Structure 1
Amino acid sequence: MPFLPITLEEMKEYGWEQPDFVYIIGDAYIDHPSFGPAIISRVLENFGYKVCIVSQPDINDDKPFKLFGKPRLAFLVCAGNIDSMVDHYSVSKKRRKKDYYTPNGEMGKRPDRALIRYCSKLKELYPDVPVVCGGIEASLRRLNHYDYWDDSVRRSVLLDSHADLLLYGMGEKTIVQVADALDSGLDIKDIIYIRNSVWKTKDKSLLPDDAVWLPSYDEVLADKMNYVKSFQIQYKNTDPFTGKTLIEPYKNIYVVQNPPEFPLSQDEMDATYSLPYMRACHPLIEAKGHVPAIDEVKFSVISNRGCYGGCHFCALTMHQGRIIQSRTKESILEEIKIISKDKDFKGYIHDIGGPTANFYRPACGKQLKHGVCTQRECIGYDPCKNLEVDHSEYLDILKEARKLPGIKKVFVRSGLRYDYIMYDKNPEFFEELIKYHISGQLKVAPEHIADEVLVRMGKPSRGLYDQFVKRYEDLNHKFGMDQYLVPYLMSSHPGSTLNSAIELAEYLRDSGHMPEQVQDFYPTPGTASTCMYYTGIDPFRGDKVYVTKNPHEKAMQRALMQYKLPQNYDLVYEALTKAGRQDLIGFDKKCLIKPRGSKVGYIPPRRGKEIKTGGKK
C-alpha cells in the first residue's frame, strides 16, 4: 500500500479526480503511527475516504493550499506533533536552531501559531469550504488558555483560527463521525453533537440546558481567580463518563466543548495500529533531507495511551485523558514482526511503551465502567488506596517480544513511573527491566527532591525516590550489571524557592550527579502548573504558591543545579549569600563552592554516564 498522495500526479495514480479531504500539516509527512496525521488519514482511508496531504506549506504562497483544489467535504488542519510555539522557542523565548519534524532539521518551514495561520489562509482562499482543525495545538488551546509567549490569556483558538470545528484529544472515532456527517450532506454548522469536538455559535437557543458554564472570557481577563475556576472546571470534565458539556461565553459568541469521547477498546486500538502505515517519511519529502523525528520512533511500538500519572506540568490529562487504553499482546508482537523486516533494522526494538510505559492497564477496575475520580489523583504525590499495581501483562509482552526471531534486544525508553515500580510487591518486573531492557542507563523523572516542590508537581516524595535509587543499585550489584541512572530534574517550577534549589544542589552534591542539561519549567497550554505560574494559585489545593518569574532568580536556580561549572560560580555565590547559606561556601566537603579568590576547578562527567550504580564487585 503506497503513501497517501502529496502531489497531483500521485492523486491521479490513485484514480481520483477530487479528494474528500485535503489535510494541511505542519510537520513533514511521516506515515507512522507515532504521528497524529498518519493515524487520522489512515483511519479515514480505511473508512473509504480519499485524503490528500499538504505538508508544511509556505504560508506566504497560495499555491500549496490550492494544490488539490476544493475538497469534496472539508479541509483538515494539524499544526504538527508539537505545539508550534514550543517547537520554535525555548523556555527563554529564544528561537530554536532545529526543527526535528522538518527535512534536515531546518527551522522556519512552518509559521508561528501554525494552526491559526493555516486555517485563516484556507478561509481566505475557500470561505465556503469547511475547515476542521485538530492535533495537540488545537486540543490544548480549545478554550481560554494562558499563553507564555504573549504573557497573556488568549481566547479559544477556534475563534482566532476561524475554523468551523475543532476536534480535541485522540480523534479516530471523532473524525469518522465528522466525515460521515459531512458525507450525508449535513452542514458543518449543524455538526454540534459529536463528542471530542468544540463548536461555536451566536444562537443561544442551541446551547444544551445541562451544560456547565465557564467564567466568560472577559471575567477571566479581569480576575485571575476566574482563570483558576475555569481551569478547575475544565480539568474535572476530561473524563468521558462524568464530563459535561462546557460553555465559554464571549461578547457576541459562545464556544461549546462537548464531552470527551469514550476510550478505545483493545480491538479498536489494535485496528488503529494495524492499518497499512509505511513507517517512513514520504520519499519526495525525504529527498529534501532526512527528518530527525523518525529516528527514535521508527523501531518503536506504541502499546498504550492515556496517563493517570498526574504530573501537574504535563497536559496529557487534557489531551489523552487519564484512562489507559492498551493494545493486545498479539497486536504488539505482530507489529514487531513487521518492523523486523525493515531493511535498516539491526535487531533492536527501541521502545515498547506510551506516555508512561509501565501503565498498561487502568489505575483501578472501576474506571472503564464509571470513569476516573474527579476529586482525587490515582498516584501523584500520594497514591490512591484503590490503585491496582500489576506489571504482569506488560512484562509478558516484553518477554515474548525478545523471543521473536531477529530480535537482539528490546529496550524500554519511554517514561517509566518509578513510584509505580516501587509500589509493586512483585519484584520480577524491576529485575527483568534491569537484566534485559535497559540500554546501559535508565532514565527516570523525579523532577525535584524538595517535598514542597514535589507536591506542587504531583510527583512522589523524595523518600520514595531514595528507596528506588537504593533498590536499583542493589539489583545492579545482584546481577553484576554496570548501568547508570539518569534523573530528569527541573528548575523554577511553581513552589520552588532558592532554598528549594539549594536543597536540590545538596542532593546532587551527595549523589555525585552533575546534569549535563537543565530544564527550566516551561509554562505550556493546558497544564495545572501553567495555571499556578500565571495565577500564583494551586488549582488543586486552592492556596497561594510561590512562583519565580524573575529571569535572574531563574538563572540562579538553574545555576545551582550545575554549581560546579566555573561559569555559574557568581550566580551560585549570589544565591547562597541571598539565602543565608554561606555555610555552603568553603573548603569542607559539604560546601558547594569555594570562597572567592580560590581556584575553581571542575572535571566534567563522562557524557551520558550520570549516576553510576551497581557494577561487578
Structure 2
Amino acid sequence: MIERPITDWLPLTKKEVEKRGWDELDVILISGDAYVDHPAFGTAVIGRIIESEGFKIAIVAQPNWKDDLRDFKKLGKPKYFFGVTAGCMDSMVNHYTANKRLRSNDSYTPGGEAGYRPDYATTVYTKILKELYPDVPVLIGGIEASLRRVTHYDYWQDKLLPTILYDSGADMLVYGMGEQPLRELLRLVKQGVPLNTIRNVNQIAYLQPTAEPLGQFNNWDTVEISSHEICLQDKIKYAANFKVVEVESNKWQANRIIQKVGDKTLVINPPFKTMEEKEMDISFDLPYTRLPHPKYKKRGPIPSYEMIKFSINMHRGCFGGCSFCTISAHQGKFIASRSEKSIMKEVDQIVNHPEFKGYISDLGGPSANMYKMKGKDESICNRCQSPSCIHPVICSNLDTSHTPLTEIYKKVDAHPGVKKAFVGSGVRYDLLVDDFNKNNQDHNHDIYLEQLVTRHVSGRLKVAPEHTSDDTLKVMRKPSFKYFRKFKEKYDNIQAKHNLKQPLIPYFISSHPGCEEVDMANLAAETKDLGFQLEQVQDFTPTPMTVAEVIYYSGVHPYTLQPIKTAKTKEEKQSQNNYFFWYKPEFKDWIRKRLHKLNRPDLADRLLKSQKQAAIDKIIGESESSKAKQKKRNNFKR
C-alpha cells in the first residue's frame, strides 16, 4: 500500500472529518462496497463530484446493519441529504448464483469476504436512515436502484416488486450514470432548494401522491404505463410496460413516464443526453488517489480493485442491446467516450504507480471496440426508438470506424513506461466481420484486428457469441453464429501469419429464453467441432430491467407479446447446463441416455465420439448410410 496523507481520501471516520477542520457534513454517502478511490468505482466518482461542487462529503462504507447501527450514526446528520448505493453490483446478483446458492466471496470487500452487505442493500440502508433521521432526505442511486426504478420481477423472491422508491422510502432516485443529474441537484440544493422538493431535473425518479397534479416541466410529454397493481394481475401488461421503459430510456428526446403504485404515482423524468467528451474527461480527471482507503490494509486486498488497478476505461455505454444484459439499461445505448488526452493522462498516472511493472491489463469499456462510435447524422438518432444499433443488422447511420481506437492502442504502445497494453474487455467480434459490418468500406476494422491480435492479446482473447442456435440468438439480440465462424477464420489467419498461439475464449449462456434442450446439445456439438472445450459458461439469471427477465417471468416477448418458452425448473436448467461439459467423464452416460430419450442419437454420437473416430468419419464421408459407414469404419480400423 502506498503511504499518502489520509486527507487524500474522502473521509470515512469522524477523526478524518475533524482532520479536515469540518464540524458538519453537507452530504454523507452510504455504500455497500468498500471505499476504493478510483474512477472505476461509483462511490468514489459520486463522492469526488460532490466534493468538486464545494460540498463537505464523507463516506460510510459497508456499515453494520445488524446490531446497534452505530455506523449509521457515527458521522451525525448531514446538512443536505444522505446518498445511498448498494455498490457496483445489484446486491442480489452479488450474493447469489443463478441457482440461488449463496456465494462464498465478495469481490468488493477486503479479503474477498462475504457478509459485509445485506440483501437488497439499498432498501435496507434507506429504511435505517429514515428511522434514525426522518427529516433528512435520502437520494438513492447506483445499478441496484437504477434497474429497480419501476415495477420489476425479482428472481430471488420469485415475484413482482414495486419501484424501489416505494419499498425503501427514499425521497428521490437517480438512474443511469449519475454525474449529470447529480451536478444539477447539487446546484439547486446549494441555492436553498430542499432535495425532496426538486422535480424538474432530468434522469431522476420520485413518488408523489396521486391526488397531487403533475408539474409541467421542460416541455416534457408524459406517457403512463400500467400500474403496479395491474401488473400483479396481468403478466402481459407487465411485459408491455417494459417496451415503453426501454424505448424511453434510450431516446434523446424522451417522454416522462408515470406509473401508479398504491396511492402514489411514480414519476420518471427523461434521461439526459449522452455525456460529451469534455464531460467524460471531467469525471475521469477528478483527483482520485486510485487506491483503496488505508483502513483496509490489514484485511487483505480487494479483488475487484486488484483486477482493474492497471486498467483504463475509455468509454461507457453499449449499442448492442443484448436481451440478457443491463449495460444499456444503466449506462445507455449511446457511447460516451473520453478524449485521447484524458486517456493518455491516465496512462501516465498508472506508469507512475510504484507497483506498476509495465503491463496495462485492459484498454477497454463495456465492449472493448465501441470507442467513439456514434451516429453519422445525430438527428436520426434523436428520433430512433430501436433498442439496438446492430440488431438485426448494423444501422446504416452508425459510424463503426475502428481508426480512433487503433490510434489509441498505438499511442499507448509507444509510451516509454508501457511494455505491453492488453485488451481484457470482451471484443464485439461481429463488428469485425466484413459480411456483417458493411459500414466500413475502408476496412479499418481489419487494421484494428491485426493491431489487436499482434500487440494487445494477453494469451487469450474473450468474445461472446453466447449461443449457436439462430432462434435463441434472435431472442438474445445477437448475430447468427455463422459470423463467429467467419471471425474465427480471420483471427486464425492473422495468428498463422504471425506465428501466434492465442486461443479464443468464447462465452456462452444456457437456459436463456428461447433455448430448448436440443439447442444446447447442438451448441456443445458445434463448439466441439471448432475445437473448444468451453470454460466461460453461465446459466441464465433473470436480472431486473432486461428483455430476458421479462420473458422469463411473463412468458412473452415484450415487443411482440408472443409466447417464448423458457427453462425454469431446476431440472430443466441443470439439463441444459450439463451439455457444456460433454468432455467430462461424469457427464458422458447422462448425455448419451438423454439424447437417445430425445430421439437425437446422432447428436450423442457427434458429441461423445473421440477425435480419432471423428477423423475417420470425415475420411469416410458423411453422405453414406450409417450401415455402410460402420462397415468402412471396421475395415479402416483393420
Q: Does 1:2 align with 2:8?
A: yes
Q: Does 1:433 align with 2:452?
A: yes
In 2, Cα distance between equivalents of 1:384 and 1:446: 20
The verdict on how the C-alpha distance between 1:401 and 1:162 changes in structure 2, with shifts beyond 3 A counting, is: same
In 1, Cα distance between equivalents of 2:378 and 2:20: 44
Q: Which residue among 608, 626, 630 is the counterpart of 1:592?
A: 608
Moved more, 177-186 or 310-319: 177-186
8 Å CA contact 1:446–1:459 kept in 2: the answer is: yes
What are the residue-to-residue correspondences of 1:145-184 with 2, within 5 Å?
Answer: 145-184=152-191
Give CA-to-partner distance per residue, 1:293-330, whole Å, 9 cap, x none.
10121111111011101111111222111111101111
Displacement, 1:375? 3.7
| Residue equivalent to 2:94 | 87
In 2, Cα distance between equivalents of 1:140 and 1:3: 29
In 1, Cα distance between equivalents of 2:108 and 2:419: 29
What one-letter code is carried by the residue in structure 1 that aligns with 2:608?
Answer: L
What one-letter code is carried by the residue in structure 1 that aligns with 2:87?
Answer: G
8 Å CA contact 1:322–1:372 kept in 2: the answer is: no
Q: Which residue among 55, 59, 63 is the counterpart of 2:65?
A: 59
Give CA-to-partner distance per residue, 1:46-74, whole Å, 9 cap, x none.
11111101010000232100111010111
What one-letter code is carried by the residue in structure 1 that aligns with 2:322?
Answer: C
Q: Does 1:491 align with 2:510?
A: yes
| Residue equivalent to 1:508 | 527
| Residue equivalent to 2:565 | 546
| Residue equivalent to 2:31 | 25
| Residue equivalent to 2:348 | 337
8 Å CA contact 1:323–1:372 kept in 2: the answer is: no
Q: Which residue among 134, 137, 152 is the counterpart of 1:130?
A: 137
What one-letter code is carried by the residue in structure 1 that aligns with 2:159?
Answer: S
In 2, Cα distance between equivalents of 1:136 and 1:377: 20
In 2, Cα distance between equivalents of 1:410 and 1:207: 52
| Residue equivalent to 1:464 | 483
8 Å CA contact 2:11–2:57 kept in 1: the answer is: yes
The verdict on how the C-alpha distance between 1:112 and 1:574 changes in structure 2, with shifts beyond 3 A counting, is: farther
Q: Which residue among 524, 537, 543 is the counterpart of 2:543?
A: 524
Q: Does 1:273 align with 2:261?
A: no
What are the residue-to-residue correspondences of 1:65-464 with 2, within 5 Å?
Answer: 65-208=72-215, 210-367=221-378, 370-371=381-382, 373-375=384-386, 377-422=388-433, 423=437, 424=440, 425-426=443-444, 427-464=446-483
8 Å CA contact 1:312–1:528 kept in 2: the answer is: yes
Give CA-to-partner distance per residue, 1:22-62, whole Å, 9 cap, x none.
11000000000001111111011111111101010000232
What one-letter code is carried by the residue in structure 1 that aligns with 2:262?
Answer: K
8 Å CA contact 2:524–2:607 kept in 1: the answer is: no
Q: Which residue among 41, 57, 62 is the counterpart of 2:47?
A: 41
In 1, Cα distance between equivalents of 2:379 and 2:168: 35
Secondary structure at the aligned position of 1:343 is classed as coil
Unmatched 5+ stretches in structure 1: 595-617
8 Å CA contact 1:556–1:572 kept in 2: the answer is: no
In 1, Cα distance between equivalents of 2:233 and 2:596: 39
In 2, Cα distance between equivalents of 1:73 and 1:528: 37
Displacement, 1:367? 3.7
**How many pairs does the alignment contain?**
591
Displacement, 1:192? 1.2
Moved more, 136-145 or 174-183: 174-183
What one-letter code is carried by the residue in structure 2 that aligns with 1:19?
Answer: L
8 Å CA contact 1:573–1:593 kept in 2: the answer is: no
Secondary structure at the aligned position of 1:87 is classed as helix
In 1, Cα distance between equivalents of 2:301 and 2:58: 22
8 Å CA contact 1:73–1:179 kept in 2: the answer is: no
| Residue equivalent to 1:537 | 556
8 Å CA contact 2:459–2:502 kept in 1: the answer is: yes
In 2, Cα distance between equivalents of 1:493 and 1:325: 29
What one-letter code is carried by the residue in structure 2 that aligns with 1:433?
Answer: L
| Residue equivalent to 2:22 | 16
Secondary structure at the aligned position of 1:9 is classed as helix
In 2, Cα distance between equivalents of 1:544 and 1:384: 27
In 1, Cα distance between equivalents of 2:145 and 2:301: 27
In 1, Cα distance between equivalents of 2:386 and 2:203: 22
Secondary structure at the aligned position of 1:237 is classed as helix
| Residue equivalent to 1:608 | none
In 2, Cα distance between equivalents of 1:165 and 1:243: 20
Displacement, 1:75? 0.6
TM-score by length of 2: 0.90
What one-letter code is carried by the residue in structure 2 that aligns with 1:99?
Answer: D
Moved more, 172-181 or 490-499: 172-181
| Residue equivalent to 1:599 | none
Displacement, 1:370? 4.4
Q: Does 1:565 align with 2:584?
A: yes
In 2, Cα distance between equivalents of 1:226 and 1:580: 38
Q: What is the CA RMSD across the aligned residues, in angstroms?
A: 1.6
Give CA-to-partner distance per residue, 1:9-31, whole Å, 9 cap, x none.
11111111111111100000000
Secondary structure at the aligned position of 1:132 is classed as strand
8 Å CA contact 2:146–2:174 kept in 1: the answer is: yes
8 Å CA contact 1:323–1:368 kept in 2: the answer is: no
What one-letter code is carried by the residue in structure 2 that aligns with 1:404?
Answer: H
In 2, Cα distance between equivalents of 1:40 and 1:571: 51
Displacement, 1:517? 4.8
In 2, Cα distance between equivalents of 1:30 and 1:527: 29
Secondary structure at the aligned position of 1:379 is classed as coil
Displacement, 1:287? 2.7
In 1, Cα distance between equivalents of 2:326 and 2:64: 29
Displacement, 1:566? 2.0
In 1, Cα distance between equivalents of 2:601 and 2:210: 65
Give CA-to-partner distance per residue, 1:347-385, whole Å, 9 cap, x none.
011111111121112432234784362146310242223
| Residue equivalent to 1:611 | none
Give CA-to-partner distance per residue, 1:473-529, whole Å, 9 cap, x none.
111001111111100011111010012111101112211211235300111111111
What one-letter code is carried by the residue in structure 2 that aligns with 1:123?
Answer: K
| Residue equivalent to 1:581 | 600
The verdict on how the C-alpha distance between 1:230 and 1:354 changes in structure 2, with shifts beyond 3 A counting, is: same
The verdict on how the C-alpha distance between 1:365 and 1:271 changes in structure 2, with shifts beyond 3 A counting, is: same
8 Å CA contact 1:381–1:454 kept in 2: the answer is: no
Larger Cα Rg: Structure 1 or Structure 2?
A: 2
In 2, Cα distance between equivalents of 1:32 and 1:394: 23
The verdict on how the C-alpha distance between 1:584 and 1:236 changes in structure 2, with shifts beyond 3 A counting, is: closer
What one-letter code is carried by the residue in structure 2 that aligns with 1:592?
Answer: L
The verdict on how the C-alpha distance between 1:26 and 1:507 changes in structure 2, with shifts beyond 3 A counting, is: same
In 2, Cα distance between equivalents of 1:247 and 1:264: 25
Displacement, 1:574? 4.1
8 Å CA contact 2:80–2:195 kept in 1: the answer is: no
Displacement, 1:547? 0.6
Secondary structure at the aligned position of 2:398 is classed as coil
Q: Which runs of 4+ in 1 moved over 4 A?
A: none
What one-letter code is carried by the residue in structure 2 that aligns with 1:276?
Answer: P
Displacement, 1:240? 4.9
